[in-house]
Structure 1
Amino acid sequence: MSVKPLEGKIAIVTGAGQGVGRGIALALARHGAKVALLGRTLAKVEATAEECGNGARGFHVDIKDAEAIKAATAQVIEAFGGVDILVNNAQEVPLGTLDKVTDEAFLAGFESGPIATMRMMKACRASMTERGGGVIINLTSSATIRWDMAGYGPYAAVKKAIQALTRAAAAEWGPEGIRVLNIAPHADSPGLKSWIEARPAEAEAFFKTIPLRRIGRCEEDIGEAVAALCGPSFSYLTGATIPLDGGQANFDG
């Protein structure tokens, strides 16, 4: 029987109870990784862990809580023996125009986005270094490069900050064998469905601008891509933003 490309790797996925996080966790597990699923609703991440199999476990954590991040990461390292892969997926999204997004929502976006991303990366770094390296996948969005930023400024600001942290971590930790990447996915997630319901006309026009004419599937499209990026075939790729959006956004512009 052939060895799976992520056999023996230990992965942490935040926000893994549904949507993109769940899809990524399932794909990583299918390719051999043992997955720790972190989320605010323990029942959801435990359900995903059961789907994953291969010794996967769910852990409760509020990613806006610095001490909770430290505790959960320590629990994963104690239970599984270390960390090789980190996927920072969980995020509260501050959508709306500047006059509609409250300070509280904007702060929550930063606390659950770039601040939590940096805390999670730092919490996992030592273990990755001890194990000879690792891969960190952070989630950004094509909202950061929209030609019309109306209604997306706070969200784009949060995601742009994550991109900057990814570039910094890739540069600073590359000598330790840690690769750090962004993905910018469009996926059939609960968040996208809520957006479609709230803005049906905008959503219809939006989908027509996707060259492949479909939204990505959480597991088969986004999860499989992440599993590949974490594998040996991409061992020389770091510091980049990978658009998983059917060719819609022009990150090269």
Structure 2
Amino acid sequence: MTDLSGKVALVTGAGQGVGQGIALALAAAGAKVAVTGRTLVKLEATSALVAERGGEALPVAGNVKDAASLAAMVAATVEHFGGLDILVNNAQEVPNGKLEDVSDEAFIAGFESGPLATFRLMKLARPLMAARGGGVIVNLASSAGIRWDMTGYGAYGAVKQATRVLTRAAAAEWGRQGIRVLTIAPHAESPGLKWWIANNPEEAEAFFRTIPLGRIGKLEEDIGRAVAALCSSDMAYLTGATIPLDGGQANFD
């Protein structure tokens, strides 16, 4: 069983969906977890679920599109728990739609909440992790960035692919400091996926037929536990990679 006892994690977008599932799995593995997001009541609900698993969580409300707010999240985590070992960059506003239908504002929001927030948080986390002998950063991407038909997914795929490039660069630059950096590309039963299914039922049905395992991932059991395993010492030689957690659907080769 994955053991993250003594580790401190910060998870963005942890009030629901994939972020919540990851936070719960990290806590179940023994990590103390700062759960961040825009809505405090959702973060408090996640913290209560962590407590049910015997873990400890710190809810920290903030806006990942604001640099000062990101710094405050990290500072609150370090002040409360004493350091930082694991960072999960999950929060993302989704600029979906055909290119002519995506506004500048939506694309900028996607960039600021995704790769720019990831860039900023990674740089805030690096010295803290290095001071503790290393750490693990997990960034979230999407198979939207490698679809053969990018119609309707160009803006979203672009910001997610930018995050993958940041992962590769950070892994190369910080590996000698003991910091591993990974990307996951999950399919999970998140609110965003449920919205997509409801609004694109025919496309969703066709998409699900391409998943070899025949189902969508469960938030905590499939996605969260995989992330916990990636953050453990058992995966100490893995860095710079994109790991699809999608039942075998995407091909990142």
TM-score (norm 1): 0.98
> Residue 50 in 1 paired to residue 48 in 2?
yes
Q: 2:181 aligns to what SS in structure 1?
A: strand
Identity of aligned residues (%): 67
Alignment correspondent of 1:162: 163
- Counterparts of 1:108 and 1:229, CA distance in 2: 29
Q: Deviations over 1:77-97 (max 9, x none)?
A: 111100000000000000000
- Within 5 Å, give how 1:106-121 maps onto structure 2: 106-121=107-122
Q: Deviations over 1:94-141 (max 9, x none)?
A: 000001110000000000000000111111111100000000000000
- Out of 24, 27, 30, the position equivalent to 1:29 is 27
TM-score (norm 2): 0.98
Q: Deviations over 1:134-179 (max 9, x none)?
A: 0000000011110000100000000000000000000001010000
- Counterparts of 1:4 and 1:145, CA distance in 2: 31
Q: CA RMSD in A?
A: 0.9
Alignment correspondent of 1:13: 11
Aligned-pair distance for 1:55?
A: 2.1
- Counterparts of 2:62 and 2:83, CA distance in 1: 18
Unaligned runs of 5+ in 2: none
- Counterparts of 2:27 and 2:138, CA distance in 1: 16
Alignment correspondent of 1:172: 173
- Counterparts of 1:4 and 1:28, CA distance in 2: 9
- Within 5 Å, give how 1:1-253 maps onto structure 2: 5-53=3-51, 54-252=55-253
Q: 2:48 aligns to what SS in structure 1?
A: helix
Q: 2:215 aligns to what SS in structure 1?
A: coil
Unaligned runs of 5+ in 1: none
Count of residue correspondences: 250
- State the one-letter code of the partner of 1:38: T
- State the one-letter code of the partner of 2:71: K
- Counterparts of 2:241 and 2:9, CA distance in 1: 20
Residues 2 and 232, structure 2, Cα contact 8 Å, conserved in 1: no
Q: 1:86 aligns to what SS in structure 2?
A: strand
Residues 2 and 229, structure 2, Cα contact 8 Å, conserved in 1: no
The ranges of structure 1 where at least 4 consecutive aligned residues each deviate by more than 3 angstroms after the TM superposition are: none
- Counterparts of 1:186 and 1:4, CA distance in 2: 22
Say if 1:145 and 1:4 are closer, same or farther in 2 by CA, change over 3 A. closer
- Counterparts of 2:235 and 2:76, CA distance in 1: 29
Q: 2:189 aligns to what SS in structure 1?
A: coil
